[in-house]
A = this chain, B = another copy of it.
Amino acid sequence: MSTPIAVGLSAVIVAADGKAPYALATRHADGAAGLPHGRFDPKGHRTFELGLRDWVRAQTGFEPGYVEQLYTFGDLGRELPQADLGDAPSGARLISVGYLGLTPERTDISAFDAVWRDWYRHFPWEDHRAGRPTLIDQALAPGLRIWSDNNGKQAAAQLARVQLAFGLDGQPWIEERTLERYELLYEAGLAPEATRDSGRKPPALPVSALGEPMISDHRRILATAIGRLRGKLKYRPVVFELMRDSFTLLELQKVVESILGLSLHKQNFRRSLDRSGLVVGLGQTTQATGGRPAELFRFRREALRNGHLSGVQTPRG
């Protein structure tokens, strides 16, 4: 009799405001965070997506809107017992399908054991809005260099991977490479999850540098989501899934910046938005912004019909 297969569905539900991007997370026994997730039911679920929506609703009360599939992880040893998959037969091989969802609003989830969590708590090295975090060069880079040095023949190749991923030694920082960075840290034993999965010795660095771990492979899925969303922002107008009906241009910019973990040049951001035709001014203004009142805008859904799939330009500065 062959090993049964169980499919876990996990969701990264993202919301963002001017301050930070948030992922919907569940709280677990040991205080660890996890993503809303559950087991795919081959009888009850006609599609993965429907199953996923069921689970998210059940665990957080949140009703997902825009949703897309991220990746399917199937490698042995990263799926973990902590992941509570209910009636999964023990000894089953666990496969994990990750989804990304976007929402304009951090809905009230106080009735559930769930929270909206600033995703940079799990990835402190990913937030470059106030400049490159010093922890990269001070804490992570030394550890990664030691690890790559100890890689024998592969040392040079591993060092190159590290340099490219983390923007060391003159390489540029490329924000979409979130997953590559997390995987490197994991391989180097600098993620607490690696210890847990394999009984390696725990990393010598504090959580403030390594980010808070999550149950099972959920931090890996979150990293995948961040990288995918960062990339997609640039060529599809998905930011608007994260905005309410009307917003000021600065609000929009802050959301983009919080997702990308970068700060952008204001005037150029506006110019490219203007050209794209993705937004229209409403003629109204809001003075909720502190200084001069800002005009309110809304997303022009019609623009989608116009072959416009450009997304938001992201000049740095």
Contact = CB atoms under 8 A, between A and B. Distances in A.
B3 A46 contact: no
Nearest to A173: B307
A215 to B, nearest CB: 21
Number of copies of this kind of chain in the complex: 2
B43 A2 contact: yes
B47 A2 contact: no
B160 A305 contact: yes
A2 B42 CA distance: 8
Report, as a range, how many residues of chain A touch the other chain. Answer: 20 to 34
A6 to B, nearest CB: 7
A175 to B, nearest CB: 12
A171 B2 contact: no
A164 B304 CA distance: 9
Nearest to A77: B46
A133 interface: no
Interface string A34-61: 0000001111001110000000000000
A95 interface: yes
A49 to B, nearest CB: 8
Given A42-B3, A307-B172, A47 B75 contact: yes
Nearest to A306: B171
B46 A76 contact: yes
Given A7-B5, A171-B307, A76 B47 contact: yes
Given A47-B75, A48-B72, A74-B48, A42 B4 contact: yes
A5 B42 contact: yes
A155 interface: no
A174 interface: yes
A66 interface: no
Among all A-B residue pairs, the 5 with the closest Cβ atoms: A42-B93, A3-B42, A72-B72, A47-B75, A48-B74
Interface of A: 2-7, 40-43, 46-48, 69, 71-72, 74-76, 87, 92-93, 95, 97, 160, 163-164, 171-172, 174, 304-305, 307, 309
21 contacts: A2-B41, A2-B87, A3-B42, A3-B43, A4-B4, A4-B5, A5-B5, A5-B42, A7-B74, A42-B92, A42-B93, A46-B75, A46-B76, A47-B75, A48-B72, A48-B74, A69-B72, A72-B97, A163-B305, A171-B305, A171-B307
